[in-house]
Chain A
Amino acid sequence: MRNFGEWRWGIGLVVAVLVLGLPVPQPQAEPQERVFRVTARQFAFEPAVLQVNPGDRVVIELRSSDVVHGLYVEGYDVEAVAEPGQPDRIVFVADRPGTYRLRCSVTCGDLHPFMVGKLRVGRNPWLWKGAALALWGVTLALFAARPRTREGGR
């Protein structure tokens, strides 16, 4: 136990790295084309959450119901810009699992920086890895780390 005490942070770090490196199983569905008709208005996308499987070909047709809006997909660096009556369209292959924010890329009003949607590609590995990492942190603190007191532990 004393040896473990001396090595606890090293072991904790190794386990944390292992957790981050673990693969998260993804749905094994045949890739297909997914078409989403997204309507943008101040300050929301409708639908706000797009769910696809890894490998799907994603088509987003962006329409605006009020002012000029953009739709920028974080992580994929693709963008559509729609004016009222003039829709735009982007096509890309969702080949990276995870959750990516859709952001309005054209200043459209006060809450523009917070006009956000989400693209979910398969299972989000970071959500699971983050949860596992936090759980490991709690476990480490419960059973291995020396407590933080005024004297900094014994």
Chain B
Amino acid sequence: MTARFDVLRYPWVRRLVVSRWPQYLVRVTLLALFLLAVLAGWLGTPVGNRNFAIVGVWIAWWAVLILVAVPFLGRAWCSVCPLPLPGEWLQQGSLLGPRGRGGWSLGRRWPRRWRHIWLQNAGFTALALFSAVILTRPGVTAWVLLGLVLLAVGVSLVYERRAFCRYLCPVGGFIGLYAQAAPLELRVKDPAVCAAHTEKACYTGNEQGFGCPWGTFPLGMVRNDVCGLCFECLRTCTYDNLALNIRPLGADLAQRRGAKLDEAFKAFILLGSALTYAAVFLGPWGALKDAAYDVGAPSWWGYAALLVGLSWVILPGLFALGVWAGRPRLPWRRAFTVLAYALVPLGLAMWAAFSLAFVAASVAYVLPVLSDPFGWGWDLLGTAGWAWRPVLDGWLPLLQAGLLALGALGSVRTARGIGETWGWPRAVYPVAGYVALMTGGMLWLLLG
């Protein structure tokens, strides 16, 4: 086992995560901001860059999520996400911690045939198809946010635990895949202690905390995708047998266990949508923007075919050809699945590079909108009139080029690790070719 550093050895860190209050206060604050976004979307100005629904969600939140939270903290966003909070309150019959009485949920188990992330893949693709509208029209953003909360509430009232987060949330699948590259993990310290523990309080819950809301038994956890960093297991474990480790980047990606075809496809969906977004939102092609925006028009169907075809057919198809050319020593489908995880570092870098350009051009809207969230002419902070100017001028190409180069390096390095894990040294060559192609394409779209 490579070097890990358990940050829970610091008593203040342990207190911070084991206590419910810090997490709860952050979540409630975020829920209030979420409600503000919904109200601003309905009642505020329809001008997106003057409305908190657009600027607060798609610029401020997105920048924090993709540039900080996911790359460095993995699923940390999920631990404070407000979307499932109302549903959890109803499901648990409690606002803060176990109360010894049940909630208002039927508590059914999530159906076995739906225990995968294909629905999340489809949900993410659907959002991507309508993204030009969702990202620019406050009212639509408000309805999408509210729809996600209502869906989470409905699922919580029928099913146990956070089934919405694990199997349905379109952002959750995205975060879960890329969290596997993050330098933070929650893991069992001594598997023997868990194996001998008959109560399994981390899964079933006790008076200190709920059973794992993600339906994960920590002993069996080998990747970050199934851990929402909610820290319930830290609260329930009676043996102090869990660690919150700092670890090397990409530590989950090359290991033997836990690779799944649905997640492998998520890698291609994310590559395809990053390329498409870079072309639509940062490219000079007006017709492409019109096509993405005119939902239902013939040109929009063309855009939809491009996005779906690229993400679900062309990119995985090209990769499959590469896998075949690499003469895998394991069943072909298995080889495709395990090797697709090598694309995670590059995919994350592509999203970060795209988001940097997007955020650099739009972050100047944040302070004016905080001062006037509804676009009603308020000036709460005295910043409502601040002029728009892009930031990072001059530094942006260097940062984007550096990110993409690091992503390419990380992906090929991971492919070597996968090849070593599976006794398939040739695995690295198709990945290197594929990574060079993807990186070149993204460089051209962002910097060309």
Contacts and interface: CB of A to CB of B under 8 A. Distances in A.
B432 interface: yes
A41 B436 CA distance: 36
Contact of A130 (B280, B401, B432): B401
Contacts of A66: none
19 contacts: A44-B289, A75-B393, A101-B361, A110-B137, A112-B49, A126-B398, A127-B443, A130-B405, A131-B440, A137-B405, A137-B412, A141-B409, A141-B416, A145-B416, A147-B254, A148-B253, A148-B413, A149-B421, A152-B251
Nearest to B428: A142
A14 B19 CA distance: 46
A138 B285 contact: no
A140 B409 contact: yes
Contact of B293 (A77, A110, A138, A148): A110
B419 interface: yes
B443 A149 contact: no
Interface string A13-57: 000100010000000000000000000010111101100000000
Contacts of A78: none
B412 A150 contact: no
B311 interface: no
Contacts, number: 173
B390 A118 contact: no
Given A103-B390, A114-B289, A133-B401, A153 B447 contact: no
Contacts of A11: none
A67 to B, nearest CB: 12
Nearest to B392: A74
Q: Which of A46, A113, A145, A151 has the most chain B CB within a 10 Å cutoff?
A: A113
Nearest to B286: A44
B388 A105 contact: yes
Interface in B195-252: 248-251
B405 A16 contact: yes
- A-side binding surface: helix, strand, loop or mixed? mixed
Interface string B309-337: 00000000000000000000000000000
A125 to B, nearest CB: 8
Interface in A105-136: 105, 107, 110-118, 124, 126-127, 129-131, 133-136
Interface residues of B, number: 67
Contact of A133 (B47, B48, B255, B405): B405
Interface of B: 1-3, 47-50, 132-133, 136-137, 248-251, 253-256, 280-287, 289-290, 293, 361-362, 388-390, 393-394, 397-398, 400-402, 404-406, 408-414, 416-417, 419-421, 428, 432, 435-436, 439-440, 443-444, 447-448
A126 B397 contact: yes
B248 to A, nearest CB: 5
Contacts of B248: 148, 152
Nearest to A46: B286
A98 interface: yes
Contacts of B447: 99, 124, 126-127, 130
Contacts of A44: 284-287, 289-290
A141 B412 contact: yes
Contacts of A102: 284
Contacts of A112: 48-49, 136
B439 A134 contact: yes
A129 to B, nearest CB: 6
B401 A150 contact: no
A117 B284 CA distance: 5
Nearest to A50: B284
Contacts of A140: 409
